[in-house]
Amino acid sequence: LSALQAIEQLVQKKWEDEKIFEEDAPQYGTPGWETNILSLSPYPYMNGRLHLGHTYSLSKCEFSVGFQRLMGKKCLFPFGLHCTGMPIKSKVAAKSGGAKYQWQIMESLGLHDDEIKQFADAEHWLKYFPSWAKKDLKRMGLKTDWRRTFYTTDANPYYDSFVRWQFLTLKDKGKVKYGKRHTIFSPKDNQPCMDHDRQSGEGVGGQEYTLVKMKLLEPYPSKLRPETMFGQTNCWIHPDIPYVAYKMQNGEVFVSTRRAARNMSYQEMTADQGKVDIVAQFTGQDIMGCPLSAPLTEYKVIYTLPMLTIKEDKGTGVVTSVPSDSPDDYAALCDLKRKPPFRSKYRIKDEMVLPFEPVPIIEIPELGSLAAVFAVEKLKIQSQNDKDKLAEAKEMVYLKGFYEGILLQPFGWFEGQRVQDVKKTIQQQMVADGGAVIYMEPERKVMSRSGDECVVALCDQWYLDYGEEEWKGKAKQALDQLNTYCDETRRNFEATLDCVFHSLLGTRLPWDQQWLIESLSDSSIYMAYYTVTHLLQEGVFDGSAGNKLGIRAEQMTREVWDYIFLDTPYPSTDIAKEMLDKLRNEFKYWYPLDLRVSGKDLVPNHLTYFLYNHCAVWPDKEKWPRAVRANGHLLLNSEKMSKSTGNFLTLSDAIDRFSADGEWMESMRLSLADAGDTVEDANFVEKMADAGILRLYTWVEWVKEILNNEVRPPTTFNDKVFTSEMNIAIQATQANYNEMMFKEALKTGFFEFQLARDKYRELSMDGMNRELVMKYIEVQTLLLAPICPHVCEYVWQLLGK
């Protein structure tokens, strides 16, 4: 082993022997009670080895913990492992079914066929990946109190009882309701597919459309879907896309893409859920030029016309044309009018196009009553193929039209009203009159971990009504007192809170055992569980080893949890009050949560649930979270990490790579800090790791050299300048650490700090002042310690500290 690797091992053994990251709460009210920090990042899902993306997020939290420890705070950084829900169950199904791709992934982890077969048993996943995650994180030098680790699922009866308590509490507070709700659904798994159950499409919800019925006048008895917009001049279809006609529950026949028909069949629109009764199949060209009777337009007859930009995987493949207010529609209509060969190619007659002109329906300030016409002419758009200019035109028209547009005379009592004020009313009226239906589909493609493309289904389900106004108001108060570190994260929270949404309820519902609690919902306040888990599970993932307090999982009743977390009177239990008071004391000391570090993609779901559920369970604002630091995704060498392209690193791979051939894992930590500070995607550059190891190695060798040599004592002007530069660097670096700007902290506290030393060394012709150089070494060690603790611990020992 290299000398540097030996340093890592010696330092980690020292930490483990001295148990320096194991923190216990002092007795309530003792001196120093307030000087504590509870920080954590999301527990990762255990359906594989941890990768560098996980490491990037958790490193932000870990660096912060390192800094706060240096500031004299008592810091707790626990780390659990998520095993709840469908991701593992679907993986088991894949392995037992012999899915080639999944099998190859397991082979890439170094597993042989006989080992892979064992993963057909879900219990094997719980034994295998959590253990490896802990080993990998310990090798990284994570500042974790491993006594407080655990994994989720009902295989862990202590955690299971905690989740049951959580949802019984929410139900009693009226937050859990039952009824039909639209939700992302996997037909293959025959159940809702929530975020952590997805192979792709995490965070994607349902998008609502209003299907306005347009009747074919001859000879096909079908219905077509456009959006709820007025002033129709025609209906667009794609000539080459396959369409289907199918029977609806009420006897009507709709025409759309097969994908849209599949979605509708799960929304109680067809006779049988999930079944589409197809009566005809054809391409768009087969119904091109058909006359239609459409509502809310001055034209008695309009026609189906070709539009080549329609997508088969979005909407129903049938789009109304409102050229007065849609730049795309106006450009496409102009193309048909100006180009007779284009019309003849699709057998479109002149009378189907030429008589139709945009109908003024909305007056928009600065854009007039024909906003699309204005925008297309202003931007000099030549055809429907000018995609960039059309995107600019839509940006110019749509938002302004919605928020400032005023409806004109053709719409009766709606005349003079703003579009945003009456849109929902018009929709409801059309649905009530039988002229439209509400339809939903995923905002974009969602694949379950079973390899199934998901739909939006209307399901009877228990749900958390996060859109309820009073509850939303509390969540907004929690956001008001939350430090988000950047405006974009706050805006993302605000946008999410302003949307009405629900979350399915893995642990089974205590009052209805057929329902599983969705994996994101059951992990919204688990940080409270971290405060006591070391006393219940003592570092054993499933708590099977028992605990020194003698408390069994079945004794952790709802009343017991109330006593610990809600400060209720001592319950009727055979657990001694002294034992429960230990648990209560830990919670009171460590809560509220001081810092939560997560990927920015969790703001619209997990992190918002986190705010809502804290407000519901703990009305006391003092128990609400204090800070959330969101970060972007991690790129590897400026490219998205992907197993399929090979541009991918597990944490284990990274540690092995940067610990081989004389390199050092500490350089991986350095590169993680240097990858980026904002919510934009960060970049882990392997060349940076290579350069980092050289810097660190050079610094350690220089420190040894200084300690073995005498340096001159006199004070000079250059000494004073160097002292001033050190003081400036200390202040700047401390500020950067406080703001969790670790790339900047590395810049001011290492790269620029070393440049200042180099400049001082060059200017000190008679040698450097020993006392000042020793101060520099000490300060450099402290400034770098949160990011590179192994090398700094080693240098600290060299200094005799």
Between 74 and 216, name the one with better pLDDT. Answer: 74
List strand residue ranges (DSSP E) for 317-388, in order: 318-321, 362-363
Looking at the predicted structure, is the pLDDT value of residue 103 above 90?
Answer: no
Between 490 and 690, name the one with better pLDDT. Answer: 490
pLDDT digits (tens, 9 = 90+) for 542-556: 999 889 999 999 999
Span of 228-232, 343-347, 564-568, 670-674 with lowest mean pLDDT: 228-232
Which pLDDT score is estimated for 32?
A: 72
Which pLDDT score is estimated for 92?
A: 44
Distance CA 296, CA 379 (A): 29
User: Quick one: which of 212, 177, 185 has its CA closest to 268?
Assistant: 185
pLDDT digits (tens, 9 = 90+) for 80-95: 998 875 444 444 444 4
* Amino acid (one-letter) located at 549: L
Are 287 and 204 in contact by the 8 Å Cβ rule? The answer is: no
In the structure, what pLDDT confidence band is assigned to residue 465 with cuts at 50, 70 and 90?
Answer: confident
Distance CA 691, CA 696 (A): 9
Which pLDDT score is estimated for 689?
A: 65
pLDDT digits (tens, 9 = 90+) for 494-537: 988 877 666 665 456 777 776 666 666 677 899 999 999 999 99
In the structure, what pLDDT confidence band is assigned to residue 213 with cuts at 50, 70 and 90?
Answer: confident
Average pLDDT over residues 12-28: 92
pLDDT digits (tens, 9 = 90+) for 393-416: 998 898 888 888 888 865 556 788
In the structure, what pLDDT confidence band is assigned to residue 63 with cuts at 50, 70 and 90?
Answer: very high
DSSP letter for each residue of 32-76: TTT-EEEEE-PPPBSSS--BHHHHHHHHHHHHHHHHHHHTT-EEE
Most confident of 212-216, 423-427, 665-669, 788-792: 788-792
Distance CA 609, CA 482 (A): 14
Q: How far is the CA of 160 from the CAs of 42, 543, 674, in angstroms?
A: 18, 11, 39
Span of 230-234, 463-467, 598-602, 639-643 with lowest mean pLDDT: 639-643
Cβ neighbors of 382 (< 8 A, separation 6 or more) are none
Distance of CA 245 to the CA centre of its chain: 38
Cβ neighbors of 710 (< 8 A, separation 6 or more) are 770
Average pLDDT over residues 174-180: 88
User: Quick one: which of 178, 170, 163 has its CA closest to 471?
Assistant: 170
In the structure, what pLDDT confidence band is assigned to residue 659 with cuts at 50, 70 and 90?
Answer: low
Which pLDDT score is estimated for 183?
A: 87
Distance CA 8, CA 789 (A): 9
Which pLDDT score is estimated for 759?
A: 95
Q: Kindly tell me the burial class for residue 538, based on how many C-beta atoms sit within 10 Å of its own C-beta (0-12, 13-18, 19 or more).
A: middle
In the structure, what pLDDT confidence band is assigned to residue 133 with cuts at 50, 70 and 90?
Answer: very high
Distance CA 775, CA 621 (A): 44
Distance of CA 434 to the CA centre of its chain: 39
Name the CATH topology of 637-798: Isoleucyl-tRNA Synthetase; Domain 1 (1.10.730)
Distance CA 668, CA 195 (A): 30
In the structure, what pLDDT confidence band is assigned to residue 661 with cuts at 50, 70 and 90?
Answer: very low
647 strand-pairing partners: 642
In SS3 terms, 410-463 reads as: HHHHHCCCEHHHHHHHHHHHHHHCCCEEEEEEECCCCEECCCCECEEEEEEEEE
The per-residue pLDDT of the chain, averaged, comes to 86
pLDDT digits (tens, 9 = 90+) for 65-85: 999 999 999 999 999 998 875
Looking at the predicted structure, is the pLDDT value of residue 1 above 60?
Answer: no
Cβ neighbors of 384 (< 8 A, separation 6 or more) are 307, 308, 309, 328, 331, 332, 335, 390
Measured between its terminal Cα atoms, the distance across the chain in Å is 26
Q: How many other C-beta atoms can be found within 10 angstroms of the C-beta atom of residue 495?
A: 12
Q: Is the pTM of this model over 0.85?
A: no
Which pLDDT score is estimated for 4?
A: 65
- Report domain extents, the chain: 206-442, 637-798
In the structure, what pLDDT confidence band is assigned to residue 181 with cuts at 50, 70 and 90?
Answer: confident
Name the CATH topology of 206-442: Isoleucyl-tRNA Synthetase; domain 2 (3.90.740)
The torsion defined by the Cα of 65, 70, 73 and 77, in degrees rounded to 10, comes to 20
Most confident of 34-48, 219-233, 659-673: 34-48
Residue whose entry in the numeric block shows the structure tokens 């994607």: 204
